[in-house]
């Protein structure tokens, strides 16, 4: 990944109307505090762990590091705790996120980041050693099959994906919005939730080979090889 590639891609326009850009998400990341939720149209709420995302990597996060082979692409990096920590461990790491607040916080933590969707053109396509899809990011775009297919284009032959699954066997395609405790919300967008069984099934259908699964502190991860 060259500096020229990063500079060129940083100049590409980002979609100003995309999800995760409006307040209250941006406000929560700037303050480092929730409460914040994904809200389904029927009123169901999924809490978002803003405080954990904005803190240093926890025990569960640290279990990912021994599975990473550089360079590492953190897809939907949020406030950048993993990007910054991986760099501190000596690995080349880049975060991508559509949220200006996430990008600003990642840079403030010392991480390299681009304001970009995973479906946009990215640097070093086909050369990443590891891609991360944690903190629910298997749901990006509402189509895990399309997402994992796209990640195959980004990861080098023999590379890997480290993905976080829901803790129970769910397989859902949703329309949600980000909402705070006062009812303020952004616009609707598609999302998905996959438990371990559904994630592994989708991975196999998109050409990935399951290579491991573990649970730490109530969080479940799978390792997939290309």
Q: Tell me if 113 is assigned to some domain.
A: yes
Indicate the pLDDT class of residue 23, thresholds 50, 70 and 90: confident
Q: Tell me if 43 is assigned to some domain.
A: no
The number of folded domains in the chain is 1
Q: What is residue 16's predicted lDDT score, i.e. its pLDDT? A: 39
CB atoms within 10 A of CB 136: 19
Q: Tell me if 183 is assigned to some domain.
A: no
Indicate the pLDDT class of residue 26, thresholds 50, 70 and 90: very high
Q: Tell me if 125 is assigned to some domain.
A: yes
Q: What is residue 21's predicted lDDT score, i.e. its pLDDT? A: 63
Average pLDDT over residues 110-123: 96
Q: Tell me if 33 is assigned to some domain.
A: no
Joined tokens for residue 127: 């050369």
**Sign of the dihedral defined by the CA atoms of residues 52, 40, 73, 170, in that order:** positive
Residue closest to 67 by CA, chosen among 86, 87, 88: 86
Distance, CA of 106 to CA of 108 (rounded, Å)? 5
pLDDT, tens digit, for every residue of 90-103?
999 999 999 999 99
Which residue range(s) make up the domain with 137?
A: 3-12+57-175+189-225
Joined tokens for residue 131: 């891609």
Residue 173 CA from chain centroid, whole number: 17
Q: 132 near 96, Cβ under 8 Å?
A: no
pLDDT, tens digit, for every residue of 167-204?
999 999 999 999 999 999 999 999 999 999 999 999 99
Task: For residue 133, give the CATH number of its domain.
Answer: 3.40.50.150
Average pLDDT over the chain reads 91
Q: What is residue 192's predicted lDDT score, i.e. its pLDDT? A: 98
């Amino acid at each position: 990944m060259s500096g020229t590639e990063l500079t060129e891609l940083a100049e590409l326009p980002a979609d100003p109307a995309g999800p995760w850009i409006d307040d209250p998400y941006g406000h929560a990341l700037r303050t480092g505090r929730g409460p914040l939720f994904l809200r389904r149209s029927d009123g169901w709420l999924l809490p978002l762990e803003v405080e954990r995302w904005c803190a240093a990597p926890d025990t569960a996060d640290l279990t990912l590091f021994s599975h990473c082979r550089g360079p590492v692409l953190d897809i939907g990096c949020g406030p950048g705790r993993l990007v910054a920590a991986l760099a501190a461990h000596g690995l080349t790491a880049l975060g991508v996120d559509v949220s200006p607040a996430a990008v600003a916080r990642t840079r403030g933590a010392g991480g390299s980041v681009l304001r970009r969707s995973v479906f946009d053109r990215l640097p070093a396509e086909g050369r990443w050693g590891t891609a991360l899809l944690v903190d629910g990011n298997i749901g990006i775009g509402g189509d895990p099959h399309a997402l994992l297919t796209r990640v195959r284009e980004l990861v080098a032959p023999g590379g890997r994906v480290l993905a976080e699954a829901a803790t129970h066997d769910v397989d859902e395609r949703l329309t949600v919005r980000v909402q705070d405790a006062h009812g303020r919300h952004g616009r609707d967008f598609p999302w998905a939730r996959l438990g371990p069984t559904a994630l592994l099934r989708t991975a196999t259908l998109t050409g990935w080979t399951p290579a491991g699964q573990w649970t730490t502190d109530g969080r479940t991860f799978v390792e997939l090889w290309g």
